[in-house]
Amino acid sequence: MKVLITGGAGFIGGNFVSYMIKKYPAYEIYNLDALTYAGDLAKHEDILNHKNYHFIKGNIVNRSAIYSLFQQGKFDCVIHFAAESHVDRSIEDPEVFTRTNVSGTQVLLDAAKDIGVKKFVHISTDEVYGELELNSDNLFTETTPLQPNSPYSASKASSDLLVNSYYRTYDLPVNITRCSNNYGPYQHAEKLIPLTISKVLNKQEIPVYGDGKNVRDWLHVYDHCTAIDLVLHEGVNGEVYNIGGNNEKSNIAIVSSIIEILDGSLDLIEYVTDRLGHDRRYAIDSSKISKLGWRPMYNFNIGLKKTIDWYVKNQNTFKEKVNKNGNV
């Protein structure tokens, strides 16, 4: 089987590429990535010489290049990760998010439709659902109405709707997955966990938005990869699957845990003006995908410690720029 993975030099996509190469040596894996600031190939040094791995540098908004790639590649499946994903950046420059996340997705859908792929899996986010009340037991289900509150989540919700429309209108075999916050190795340093680790290691102030009580559900990237693998092979066409880790933690709790594990000082925490439109709580109901047989493997506390160990061990060989104005 020939599988195209877009955004395979990013955090989640990159981990998924490695996962697929190792689990399915008979599959031909093609990694398409534009190598923007958030993408790098360092994570794939151990698979570069695999006969079933192929890297292609390209941008999903380039219609002629994408059509040429699909016509030559004759891919059986597409796993679409490629996206602008950092909320702060979407607030500063919404246009690039619309261009990549919406227009780029449409280009891929058109190409997939025209060559007749057997499965198109679109990787989305729980942020498209909006926010939940901070002190409630409510969870996002696959039927929760889409109510995005940031330019990033609005662009992802728009792409979700496009994907669904190609199923309903053209009978393109699609699935949409919506995950909670991922963590694990190779995440870009602008994100909460690696940013906090970097700040603690360098004894720098850790700017925390608002009161720090915003809650997210946390999912180890390996568990996310196993879920996507399952949807690729067992997902019912046209269906949406929520993927969560069942680990609700406040931002300040995450930051405090990292400080404690690294023997840092809580005095590093600096509360700053809250992010515009900052959602208070996300929480995922994963019962639908669990019926396919999926369960997360990682206990959060163990997963967090292993993630911190990975960043500590790799800080000299795997360096990424930390946004000096990055907040968590």
Q: How confident is the model at residue 317 (pLDDT cuts 50, 70, 90)?
A: low
What is 184-216+247-281+300-314's CATH number? 3.90.25.10
* pLDDT over threshold 80, residue 26: yes
Q: Assess if CATH 3.40.50.720 describes domain 2-182+218-243.
A: yes
Question: Is the distance from CB of 275 to CB of 209 less than 8 angstroms?
Answer: yes
CA dihedral sign of residues 202, 203, 209, 214: positive
Q: Which residues are catalytic?
A: 126-127, 152
Compare 282 and 90 and report the one with higher pLDDT. 282
Q: What is the reported pLDDT for 319?
A: 52
Q: What's the average model confidence in pLDDT over 118-131?
A: 97
Q: What's the average model confidence in pLDDT over 273-295?
A: 94
Q: Dihedral, CA atoms, 6, 9, 13, 19, nearest 10 degrees?
A: 110
- The SS3 assignment for 174 reads strand
* pLDDT over threshold 80, residue 320: no
Q: For residue 199, what are the CA distances in angstroms to 103, 155, 254, 271? A: 36, 30, 13, 14
Q: How confident is the model at residue 323 (pLDDT cuts 50, 70, 90)?
A: very low
Average pLDDT, the chain: 92
Q: How confident is the model at residue 322 (pLDDT cuts 50, 70, 90)?
A: very low
Question: Is the distance from CB of 211 to CB of 281 less than 8 angstroms?
Answer: no
Instruction: List the single range of 48-52, 58-62, 80-84, 110-114 with lowest mean pLDDT.
Output: 48-52
Instruction: List the single range of 5-14, 152-161, 230-239, 308-317 with lowest mean pLDDT.
Output: 308-317
* Number of neighbouring beta carbons within 10 Å of residue 291: 9
* Number of neighbouring beta carbons within 10 Å of residue 101: 28
Residues 6 or more apart in contact with residue 30 via CB below 8 angstroms: 2, 3, 4, 5, 54, 55, 56, 73, 75
Q: What is the reported pLDDT for 328?
A: 47
Residues 6 or more apart in contact with residue 182 via CB below 8 angstroms: 11, 12, 218, 219, 220, 221, 224
* Domain limits, the chain: 2-182+218-243, 184-216+247-281+300-314
pLDDT digits (tens, 9 = 90+) for 262-275: 999 999 999 999 88
Q: In what order do the strands lie in the sheet with 248-250?
A: 181-183, 215-220, 248-250
pLDDT digits (tens, 9 = 90+) for 181-219: 999 999 988 889 999 999 999 999 999 999 999 999 999
| Rounded-to-integer distance, Cα 160 and Cα 128, Å | 9
Looking only at Cα atoms, what is the longest distance across the chain?
57
Q: What is the reported pLDDT for 321?
A: 44
